């Protein structure tokens, strides 16, 4: 009988310990949820302006001029952007304009073109997670329209350009310096569809990986 009582006592302690752990886990999750909701609510229905700039690394440039194919390596380039957006709790949307430019490695006589650039207007959507006081992670995607230009190395410079459908994925982190100003550090993968230029000239727009720093001002 005594042994049976001890077994029941141990089982009760184990059950009670498990309940306490589950209760602590539930309370912790609830507190985190409340914190995230409160943080999101602080910026809800506010607007912002952001500016970013950084280095861009692109794939090879491929183009077809009336059956003659050329492929050039893209040198490391630069990217800059300006955006206006609005917070809806943890979700935010923005309209962004960005510009990216790369020189091409023209090390042979057959290379006709010297550089390419892309000017885009994008509609972006982001989701923010605040993981610590003033520190957040974000992820987003964007769709839009890009004007792609391919510029020749001859003088006078020849330029071929046209519009293409553009897309991008973004991820990064932000730190609130003040209630209104945040500094950002992020990554962007960007691409566009093939651009059909003049005289049946086709340009396969390179995709790029960009690393950017920026400032975001909320008001």
- CATH code of 174's domain: 2.40.160.20
pLDDT for 33 equals 46
Co-location of 32 and 85 in the same domain: no
Domain count, the chain: 2
DSSP 194: P
Q: What would the pLDDT profile of 57-66 be if each residue is shown by its tens digit?
A: 999 988 776 6
70 and 37 within one domain: no
* 118/152 same-domain check: yes
Residues 193 and 107 in one domain: yes
Query: Any idea of the CA torsion for 5, 10, 12, 16, to the nearest 10 degrees?
Result: 160
The predicted pLDDT at position 141 comes to: 98
Sites in the chain below the pLDDT cut of 70 = 1-42, 65-68, 107-112, 154-158, 199
pLDDT for res 189:
98
Indicate if 25 and 99 belong to the same structural domain.
Answer: no
Residue 37 shares a structural domain with residue 99: no
Query: Which among 207, 193, 201 has a CA at the least distance from the CA of 60?
Result: 207
Q: Which of 25, 157, 45 is nearest to 90 (CA)?
A: 45
69 upstream amide cis, omega within 30 of 0: no
Q: H-helix or E-strand containing 159?
A: strand 159-176
Backbone angles phi, psi at 43, to 5 degrees: -100, 0
Nearest by Cα to 90 from 140, 40, 155 = 40
Domain co-membership, 33 together with 112: no
Same domain as 179, residue 73: yes
| 112 and 128 co-located in one domain | yes
Q: Are residues 19 and 91 in the same domain?
A: no
User: Could you report how far apart the first and last alpha carbons of the chain are, in Å?
Assistant: 72
pTM: 0.77
Are 169 and 141 contacting, i.e. CB atoms less than 8 angstroms apart? yes
Both 1 and 100 in a single domain? no
Domain that holds residue 9: 1-43
My answer on whether 106 and 22 are in the same domain is no
Residue 106: partners with Cβ closer than 8 Å, 6 or more residues away: 72, 113, 114, 153
């Amino acid at each position: 009988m005594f042994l049976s009582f001890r077994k029941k006592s141990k089982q009760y302690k184990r059950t009670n310990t498990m309940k306490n752990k589950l209760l602590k886990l539930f309370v912790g999750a609830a507190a985190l949820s409340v914190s995230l909701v409160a943080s999101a609510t602080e910026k809800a229905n506010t607007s912002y302006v952001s500016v970013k700039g950084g280095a861009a690394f692109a794939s090879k440039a491929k183009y077809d001029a009336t059956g003659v194919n050329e492929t050039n390596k893209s040198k490391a380039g630069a990217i800059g952007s300006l955006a206006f957006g609005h917070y809806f709790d943890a979700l935010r949307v923005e309209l962004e304009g960005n510009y990216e430019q790369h020189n091409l490695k023209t090390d042979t006589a057959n290379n006709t073109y010297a550089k390419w650039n892309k000017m885009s207007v994008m509609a972006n959507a982001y989701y923010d997670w605040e993981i610590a006081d003033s520190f957040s992670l974000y992820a987003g995607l964007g769709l839009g329209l890009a004007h792609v230009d391919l510029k020749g190395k001859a003088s006078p410079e020849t330029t071929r350009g046209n519009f293409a459908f553009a897309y991008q994925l973004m991820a990064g982190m932000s730190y609130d310096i003040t209630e209104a100003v945040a500094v950002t550090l992020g990554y962007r993968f960007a691409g566009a569809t093939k651009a059909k230029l003049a005289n049946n000239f086709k340009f396969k727009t390179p995709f790029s990986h960009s690393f950017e720093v920026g400032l975001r001002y909320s008001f």
